[in-house]
Structure 1
């Protein structure tokens, strides 16, 4: 028969062991130090990079809110002693480019007339094309997709003169309609690639089930594919809005002076040699020109990241 004292000691040891195991279980892994060497280096690099990109923007903003006498004092990085929005008003409606002194307002409305139809047409055609290439395989589809893919990497400069001849023969050279057509066509390759890869990443069982239920090409697209594809539509919209709104080359080549987009107007204002160089007006004009793409990015940034991740790495 075992000694009661021995049994008691053994039980106490087992209880202590279980208590230690339970304590270790609840304690979990040791938390990482908030100020470790790795975190300090990581955040340090991020702060330096952020300052590198934000400092020019800061200088532009504070300069646009200063008067010319204060700018001549030379304190570039100092905040404005007296905030004034007169440079913004002048950049919008009074800055001169040659004999025209209507500022950026005329170029802004020209850019809007170019942007809206170009974005709608290119996304509509590219989404349907990407859907057909991913779900409705046809003879020669891979060859067609390869040609589109090659078109995404052809430099725009190579196509300038042929496009000039084409638009002239169509009677669209020098018009906003011609520039809309140019932006729509040149945006197609990369958009079709994104849509095709995104649709290819969706569960094919949904497509097959819809086909079994008797759904056709357009029913599947509008009722199943399009509602599930909001992120890639946002990506396409951001890419087109940014590319079309910031375009200078096509705008200055394919339109006339009275139909120049906002970026061309900005270039003419900044590089004007008439009168005194008004740096505050130039900075305000630059910020006004960039407000549209910046607003689009801030509003739809999360969907942009989701769509890029889904449409760029699959398929």
Structure 2
């Protein structure tokens, strides 16, 4: 099953290392005659994404500039929300949490129009800034859910003892709860990184021109109809687009599983 699952990755990698003549003469499963990285260099620096022929490097940077602040902000705000909803309950907190839960089931298409209206009212013209705000808002309900479910398993006496000792709202959060939340933080970082980096719909709707993310550029590259169809370049670009999320899962995959199961069993 693992071999069957990894077969498409093998086809992509081997095709990206072949010349066009090898691709036309051989078959999908054949190994490249020699390691040829010309397709990778073209995909990174000179491939045409529509009318622009600057490769994927600029769009890769755009995705990083969008993803990093959106992931960090949504994770921090989600931790703060989860802390409040579990340790500092207020009137209507259950209804508020229910509204957040409902938000996790809303598909991207439902929020496009109201999100566009809000962005217009805020006057956000910068593509990167718009995408950061969109992904923070849409990801906030997920990060809040993760942290809230983790914090309800933390003994309330821990917070009460800190209050008696004179610790305030933010001191309890930053000095006591946040340091023990590493598994859940890793879950949120991996979840948000994957969701934001792989997003296409928000990217194509709320960005334009040189401010588009990697996924939109990859779509434009693959669907460019001018000139010779370079399958090796398309495959190299697809692998480049997948490398960040692949790296995140390889490095933090075990923390993701630990974080999801944290607090699942009491006792």
Larger Rg: 1
Tell me if both proteins adopt one fold, taking TM over 0.5 as the criterion: yes
Task: Verify: 1:223 aligned to 2:175, yes or no.
Answer: yes
Query: What is residue 191 of structure 1 aligned with on the other side?
Result: 143
In the other structure, the counterpart of 2:131 is: 179
**Aligned partner of residue 245 in structure 1, secondary structure:** helix
Q: Distance in 2 between matches of 1:307 and 1:212?
A: 30
Counterpart of 1:276?
Answer: 228
Aligned Cα RMSD in Å?
A: 1.4
Give the match for residue 309 of structure 1: 261
In structure 2, C-alpha distance between the alignment counterparts of 1:193 and 1:97, rounded to whole Å: 38
TM (norm. structure 1) is: 0.82
Between the aligned partners of 1:146 and 1:132, the Cα distance in structure 2 is 14
Distance 1:174 1:160, change over 3 A: farther
Which of 162, 176, 194 lines up with 1:242 in the alignment?
194
TM norm structure 2: 0.96
Contact 2:127–2:212 (Cα < 8 Å) also in 1? no
Counterpart in the other structure of 1:262 = 214
Task: Please point out which of 203, 214, 227 is paired with 1:251.
Answer: 203
1:86-101 residue pairs with structure 2 within 5 A?
Answer: 86-101=38-53
Q: 1:52 to 1:311 in 2, by over 3 A?
A: farther
Q: Which has the higher contact order (CA 8 A, sep 6+)?
A: 2
Q: CA deviation at 1:208?
A: 2.1
Q: 2:158 aligns with which of 179, 187, 206?
A: 206
Checking the alignment, whether the CA contact within 8 Å between 2:108 and 2:201 is kept in structure 1 is no
DSSP-derived class of the 2:25 partner? coil
Gaps of 5+ in 1: 1-47
1:82 is displaced (CA, Å) by 1.1
Q: CA-to-partner distance for each residue in 1:57-90, whole Å, 9 max, x for gaps? A: 0111111111111111132111111110110010
Q: Secondary structure at the match of 1:72?
A: helix
1:178 and 1:115 map into 2 onto residues whose CA distance is: 12
Are the equivalent residues in 2 in contact too, given 1:174–1:254 (CA < 8 A)?
no
For residues 27-57 of structure 1, the C-alpha deviation after alignment (integer angstroms, 9 at most, x for no partner) is xxxxxxxxxxxxxxxxxxxxx2x12210000
Q: Which contiguous aligned blocks of 4+ residues in structure 1 show a shift greater than 2 angstroms?
A: 311-314
How many matched pairs? Answer: 266
Alpha-carbon shift at residue 224 of structure 1 (Å):
0.9
**In the alignment, structure 1 residue 57 sits paired with structure 2 residue 9:** yes
Q: For the structure 1 residues 313 and 113, does the alpha-carbon distance in structure 2 shift closer, same or farther, using more than 3 Å as the test?
A: farther
Is the 8 Å Cα contact of residues 43 and 236 (structure 2) preserved in structure 1?
Answer: yes
